[in-house]
Amino acid sequence: MTLQQLKYVIEVAKSRSINKAAQNLFISQPSLSNAIKELEEEVGITIFLRSNKGILITPEGSEFLGYARQVVEQAELLENRYTNTRSPQQHFSVSAQHYAFAVSAFVRLLKEYDPEEYEFSLRETKTYEIIDDVKNLRSEIGILYVNEFNQKVIHKFLREGNLQFHELFTANPHVFISSANPLSEKDYVTLSDLDPYPYLSYEQGDYNSFYFSEEILSTLSRPKNIRVTDRATLFNLLIGLNGYTISTGVISHKLNSKDIIAIPLKVDEQIHVGYITHKNVTNSTLANTYIQYLKESIEEELQSL
């Protein structure tokens, strides 16, 4: 087993394609395929499954990749320490539901870490894709919520993906509305108060199940419904159409307009927001720092409620 083979495996996992990885590595596709095959034979496991749709990482492959990344990162640090070369480009990825505190922590990570070179990703995406990203090591951290309704299904997918959920905080439900909405003067709102207004929710694509909804109370029937794919559009429609959405009530006014406010929703529900990680992967220094910034961003926003 060589360091070069480990780098090959990591690039294939990142690219999700042997052909694309070979191009990125500036080697031929047959050479890369042979190197991966030799490594799999040496360690006695199948790291990748090849299909017409691309590369799939096996459970054993996910565990192997976790160790491989640590070895390569340590080798780069060692080389940088003793050969006076420049620092290696840093990589870090997060997949999350549409939470402002996730963005706030990401901004702080970049501002305070500030390496010379980096390739970071923040994917605000669908619930199933968050789980899939962390399962297949496209992201190191995933951020989502569970509640009494969806927890059995979500935790089943987490177990199958060898993932674990770490709770960050528990929130009582709120609605996000425009500060100009007639409901903005209320101390709290009820579900019947919301009936005249358009309900905004995030599209979940092929996995548009109630259990994967980013909003609680997803099984309720509402007279006016609009689905969106991004937070900016949702906020624009909250303002333009006097719509509403249901969330935690945690909103960053540093990153978002003060035209959006949170009002408590009078329902007997709780939202447990947390982050997910892969059981077979040790958190990187960047991941641990980001998690700390997440906690601090959440605490700051909760104090402002």
| One pLDDT digit (tens) per residue for the chain, 305 residues | 898 999 999 888 888 888 888 888 889 888 899 999 999 999 999 999 887 777 888 888 888 888 888 788 778 777 766 766 555 667 889 999 999 999 999 999 998 876 677 789 999 999 999 999 998 888 999 999 999 999 999 999 999 999 999 999 999 999 999 999 999 999 999 999 999 999 999 998 877 778 999 999 999 999 999 999 888 899 999 999 999 999 998 887 666 667 899 999 999 999 999 999 998 788 888 999 999 999 999 998 877 65
Task: Please state, in angstroms and rounded to a whole number, the distance separating the CA atoms of residues 300 and 204.
Answer: 29
**Residue 79 pLDDT:** 75
**Residue 278 pLDDT:** 92
**Residue 13 pLDDT:** 87
**Residue 88 pLDDT:** 60
pTM of the model: 0.75
Q: What one-character-per-residue DSSP string does 79-90 give?
A: HHHHH-PPPPPE
Task: Please state, in angstroms and rounded to a whole number, the distance separating the CA atoms of residues 95 and 120.
Answer: 11
Burial pattern 128-137, b for ≥16 Cβ within 10 A else e, equals bbbbbbbbbb
Task: Please state, in angstroms and rounded to a whole number, the distance separating the CA atoms of residues 245 and 162.
Answer: 32
Task: Please state, in angstroms and rounded to a whole number, the distance separating the CA atoms of residues 21 and 50.
Answer: 14
197 neighbors 120 (Cβ within 8 angstroms): no
**Residue 234 pLDDT:** 92
Other CB atoms within 10 A of residue 263 CB = 20
**Residue 156 pLDDT:** 95
Q: Which two tokens stand for residue 5?
A: 């083979």
DSSP H stretches of helix in the chain: 3-15, 18-25, 29-43, 59-83, 100-113, 127-135, 151-160, 191-194, 231-241, 285-303
Residue owning tokens 């939470």: 99
**Residue 114 pLDDT:** 67
**Residue 60 pLDDT:** 86
Helix crossing, 151-160 with 127-135: angle to 10°?
20
Q: What are the residues facing 175 on neighbouring strands? A: 246, 263
**Residue 149 pLDDT:** 94
222 neighbors 199 (Cβ within 8 angstroms): yes
Other CB atoms within 10 A of residue 52 CB = 4
Task: Please state, in angstroms and rounded to a whole number, the distance separating the CA atoms of residues 100 and 255.
Answer: 7
**Residue 87 pLDDT:** 57
